Structure 1
Amino acid sequence: MATRSPEHRKAIVYDPLQAHGTTADNYQGFMSKKSNRVCLYFCCGFIMSTIFAFVSYSLVHGVFLTDETVDVPADRVVIPEKSCGKRVVAYHDLITNREITGSQLSKLTHLILLPVQVQPNGTLSFRSEGEERKFQIIVKRAEKVPDLKIMFSFTDSRKNHNHFSKIVEKRETKENLINSITSFIMTHHLDGVDVQWRWPETETDFFNFIDFCKDLQRKLQALAKSIKRMTPFTLSVMFPRQKPSINFNDILYYVDFITIETVYYDMWREQFPNETVHFCPLYSKKFGKGSLDYTMREYSCFTNQPNKLNILVEFIGRFWENVIEPQNSSKTIGLKVGPMNGKVDWMPWSKVIKWDMSTASWDDEAKMSYIWDAYQRKYMVFESERSLQEKIKYVLEKNIGGLAVWRIDHDDYNDTMLSVLTTAKQCLGNYSDDVNYTCN
């Protein structure tokens, strides 16, 4: 099966040219040829000197530069800056009608397309022919981006526990799924797979999950060897924001990275349904465990491998209507929502920016942005450029392996948020794999 890059290169052997000697009998012919060569070398030298002088003049005086702004075509590939090893991962849902561009792809290290459905017998399929065609178009475009890893994931539900549990607990269906994954990777010329089991619950679940990843990794290694692939296939998983109480460290032997779902801190919906709270705070004194810092501290201290972890972000905002005006007008964090006609919903960043950004405020504890519209009694908390920069800073300081974004189509058409996220790849200093937390 052919892959999108040569999996082995044939050695090209150059036989040395044989030098021919001269004798006294053809000395004059030899000298004549020598004179011709001298003339040829002089002419070539003069031409090259002229070209070099012109290029140097042009670079100094900006002959090749233009001030005009040109729109980048969708399939145009922008070569990414030198990477310092931080992952920038994007999950892209095939349900969206928004086209993914070459400019967006060039900002990533990993692209994960989803969902591919898992049938009860362990085989894989697309939800529709339209999504299959879309998948193929995106892969073809992504192949043009140097060093971009193209992967897929198989979930179309926030909770697929029962479905996945039944498949991996049986040897036959588990082997079917593993074989289907490797076949899918070869058919579509992919670089790996992201496994999402939402979520293992029991000790048996975790044992089966780890065993599945071990068998899948071995299968991918054997496949890479058989086709003489130059780089290993990538295997990743996603874990919930609440660290499992069961020892799952063995999975680190088999996966390249783990994305932690550091969004949807659901206290705003469960414990405090009538209060405006942040959905992805970096820190939180009030909610204790309900912060990104607490989650990543738990995982980093437990695994001792923060470089194998990603934090997950979303380019969205959450808003409330019928918010009760506070008695103290200076207190605009954690407002109450009226029990009648109260509404909570979310919107993508592309719609967030349609709010009056000049009225945005900053929660310095949570490192999140928010807007309180007292006149319309609306309240919105949102991931902003500033809050995203704080998370990137956190990733660098704590030696976290990277960041992942759920659905880059939520960004605006200027790729504002994705461009901020990409700065995590830039070389900003020397960062080790040390655990930069005080662990119990």
Structure 2
Amino acid sequence: MPTVSGEKQKLIKPPPPIPKKRIVGYYLGTEEKGIQKFQLGKLSHAVFAFVSMDSDGLLCFKDEKTEIKFLNLKSKSKNISTDLNTMISIGGQNNSEYFSQVVADPRKQTFVHFIIVRTEFDYFRTFIDSILNFLKTHQIDGVDIFWTWPKDSDKFKYSAFLKKLRETLKQSYIISIAAPPTGIENWEAGFDLDEILECVDFINVICMDYYGPWDNQWGNPAGPISPLYSGVGARENFNVDFTMQYYTSETKNSNKFNIVIPFYVRLWNNVKNAVQPENMEAFRNVELVKFGDGVRADGCPFIPRRSLEKERWKLSPASWDDKSKSSYIYDVDKETYLTFETDMSVHAKRNYVNQKGLGGYCIWSVDMDDSKNSLLNLLSSK
């Protein structure tokens, strides 16, 4: 339609909508109370962690209690009206010791006196068949491979395994993997990202635990669990942004990556002055204690928020570190240091995900939130 001046009116296109982000919730089943339908309704993917794998590549539950927790999650997932995908995760810190042999090159065979004995191919095929059988039997949507520590020597056999897994599951099931933070002892060396991205639907980057009260000298200093930016000393690159810059620049496919949001709280004792010369209050020196022949930090690395509520610990008011976009509480009298996610840190990470075009978030873990599901509500709010 012409304007008063006779010129054609220019149509102003609205900005494109921000794509809906994944909210992948790992569920550990550590709390006596099972997962709630309310929690499941906030997720795009509910991932049960973990289903165990034996040395032959066969899937199994750790015990009867673990199986009951899984069946409870599966049952409740069926009654969710949202587009929820239900998955299992295989591996984790305490069940990854067999991955290297199980995903070994299927072309290799061992001969003893001209008789073919059990081969690496058998493990490879058994593992894939066991995954497919589990998904079919339980009628769930996909599998997450949680092997965050493959060595450089595992690199090509891991991507070959994922390629064969995709060929077997076709597009009928979701495949995701977990990946480690980068710049720490070359943990990322075992991932052939170009090959892997062709096989998986998304990657959950476990960009957390940069600082923790560990059982060794690395328990010093105290600092944020998952700082968005910043760091101190030799750990200046121990942050989410450094990790994600690596993954996205390597692949040019940022939408396939989710960043972790840790729902737990971390505690140090014997915490002293701020780290010098940076003088950043969120990073503080820790007095280590003797432990066997070495030293360690004193504290608790993984505290569910519900546990703190029962013990009447308060997470407010909290201090805010603008450089790392992290919250913490330091009690100078008790020499205790708590670090955790808050409204401000979650908002900062939501903005980061949108600005960088990342695919979304993975929660570690849904059952570590407080009784009001405060972080889950915040993360899933529009």
Shorter-normalised TM-score: what interval? Answer: 0.7 to 0.9
Taking the aligned partners of 1:138 and 1:327, their CA distance within structure 2 comes to: 44
Q: Which residue does the alignment assign to 1:35? A: none
Q: CA RMSD in A?
A: 2.5
Taking the aligned partners of 1:193 and 1:343, their CA distance within structure 2 comes to: 36
Q: Which residue does the alignment assign to 1:182? A: 132
Q: Where does 1:351-430 land on structure 2 (aligned, <5 Å)? A: 351-352=307-308, 354-423=312-381, 426=382
Task: Please tell me whether residue 116 in structure 1 is matched to residue 51 in structure 2.
Answer: yes
TM-score (norm 2): 0.80
Q: Where does 1:188-337 land on structure 2 (aligned, <5 Å)? A: 188-203=138-153, 205-221=154-170, 232-242=172-182, 244-245=188-189, 247-266=192-211, 269=214, 273-286=219-232, 287-324=235-272, 332-337=281-286
Which of 70, 87, 95 matches 1:151?
87
Q: Which residue does the alignment assign to 1:345? A: 300
Alpha-carbon displacement from aligned partner over 1:193-234 (angstroms, at most 9, x marks no partner): 00122311124x11111111111111112xx6xxxxxxx310
Larger mean Cα displacement after TM superposition, 268-277 or 283-292: 268-277
Taking the aligned partners of 2:330 and 2:351, their CA distance within structure 1 comes to: 27
Say which structure is richer in helix. 1
Shift in Å, 1:121: 1.5
Larger mean Cα displacement after TM superposition, 164-173 or 285-294: 285-294
Shift in Å, 1:344: 2.3
Shift in Å, 1:317: 2.0
Say which structure is richer in strand. 2
The aligned length equals 331
Aligned partner letter, 1:400? L
Q: Check whether the contact 1:318–1:381 (CA below 8 A) recurs between aligned residues.
A: yes
Helix, strand or coil at the partner of 1:336: strand
Helix, strand or coil at the partner of 1:379: strand
Q: Check whether the contact 1:160–1:198 (CA below 8 A) recurs between aligned residues.
A: no
Which consecutive residues of structure 1, in runs of 5 or more, have no partner in the other structure? 1-81, 225-231, 427-440
Q: Where does 1:11-160 land on structure 2 (aligned, <5 Å)? A: 84-145=19-80, 146-155=82-91, 157-158=92-93, 160=95
Shift in Å, 1:259: 0.7
Q: Which residue does the alignment assign to 1:172? A: 122
Larger mean Cα displacement after TM superposition, 173-182 or 235-244: 235-244
TM-score (norm 1): 0.70
Shift in Å, 1:348: 2.0
User: Cα distance 1:126–1:290, how it changes in 2: closer, same or farther (>3 A)?
Assistant: same
Taking the aligned partners of 1:209 and 1:366, their CA distance within structure 2 comes to: 34
Q: Check whether the contact 1:278–1:381 (CA below 8 A) recurs between aligned residues.
A: yes
Identity of aligned residues (%): 31
Which consecutive residues of structure 2, in runs of 5 or more, have no partner in the other structure? 1-16, 105-119, 291-296
Q: Check whether the contact 1:160–1:199 (CA below 8 A) recurs between aligned residues.
A: no
